[in-house]
Amino acid sequence: MNQSSWFDVGGESSLKVLWEDGERVFCRRESHADGYRAAVLAVLPAAEHPTPATLDSLAREYGLKDELDGAWALRPLELVRERGRIMLVLEDTSSEPLDRLLGMPMEVRSFLRIAIAVAAALTQVHRRGLVHKDIKPANILVNRTTGEVKLTGFGIASRLPRERQAPAPPEVIAGTLAYMAPEQTGRMNRSVDSRSDLYALGVTFYELLTGTLPFTAADPMEWVHCHIARQPAPPDERVAGLPGPLSAIVIKLLAKTGEERYQTAAGVEADLRRCLAEWERHGRIVPRGPIVYLLGLRGNGRAVDQSGQKRTGVRAREPRHAIL
């Protein structure tokens, strides 16, 4: 991409490149309106000749502007064309993408504070009747000063409560293969719904806690196989001293079927808040009572104890604390 060919206006740079994620370029731009001067984010396709799907995703995200709240999302302000390029203008919150913090295992307290904020933001997305379908660190923005977290990348979000992904070559499936739920690959007889976002949340949390993805793959079909058939190593097996309950939360999020995952982002947030309270009070996180995986969900709807045995007379549901 030859950035200077369209970032410069009148010989002076009007856009300052902040970061790229492979598909999009995020820039800061000065906006002048009603006598006030304020910075906004401009999102442009990374390619010189973007595909129709890339252009459609920017337009789709702008079309959701009335459903996205600035408290938990980067709110679209305008969709403009400038010098032959399409540009999505977003509110600027002085944040940076979460993927800039990857590479090393994150300290437990820092992880919990970010994870709670991400789960809370995703709860609001789902309460608006949206399925994001592309949760990943590059679409999570963090303000290191305030701790605020906001989501972006709503270009393939769905207003449908559930939908089927038609079988297609993995190279053309919308989303990011490394973070994609099994049902989103189109190779399972299951619908995509809000729990698909929770799987991607699990991949993100795994990466924050361990510094690595739960799977590695050399090509798109191998990514699909990993999500459908391979089991990840628990995070506490990769990072010595990582609290077991945190590892259990992540592994539950990474269950192959939606029925075995958390059922809501609010349930994830509740468990994470209890983990943070325990960590700050005692410097450790212990399970609540003798049942480690409290009312752990199975496909048949029966509650199970730590050994996997059914608990007689108890129907499974997601309680306030789904794991701990």
- Catalytic (active-site) positions: 134
Structure token digits, residue 318: 């997601």
Helical ranges in the chain per DSSP H: 4-7, 52-63, 108-127, 194-210, 220-229, 235-238, 244-253, 265-282
Q: Cβ distance 243 to 108 under 8 Å? A: yes
- Tokens 């740079």 -> residue: 13
Which amino acid makes up residue 33? A
Hey, what long-range contacts does 32-41 have (CB within 8 A, 24 or more apart)? 38/92, 39/92, 40/77, 40/89, 40/90, 40/91, 40/92, 41/74, 41/89, 41/90, 41/91, 41/92
Structure token digits, residue 78: 């305008």
Q: Which of 252, 250, 245 is nearest to 298 (CA)?
A: 252
CA 251, CA 256: separation in Å to the nearest integer?
A: 10
Distance of CA 182 to the CA centre of its chain: 15
Burial 67-105 (b: 16+ CB within 10 A, else e): ebeeebbbbbbebeeeeeebbbbbbbbebebbbebbeeb
The per-residue DSSP string of 224-251 comes to: HHHHHHPPPPPHHHHSTT--HHHHHHHH
- Contacts (Cβ under 8 Å, ≥6 apart) of 49: none
Residues in the chain: 324
Q: Cβ distance 125 to 73 under 8 Å? A: yes
Taking residue 116's Cβ as centre, other Cβ atoms within 10 Å add up to 20
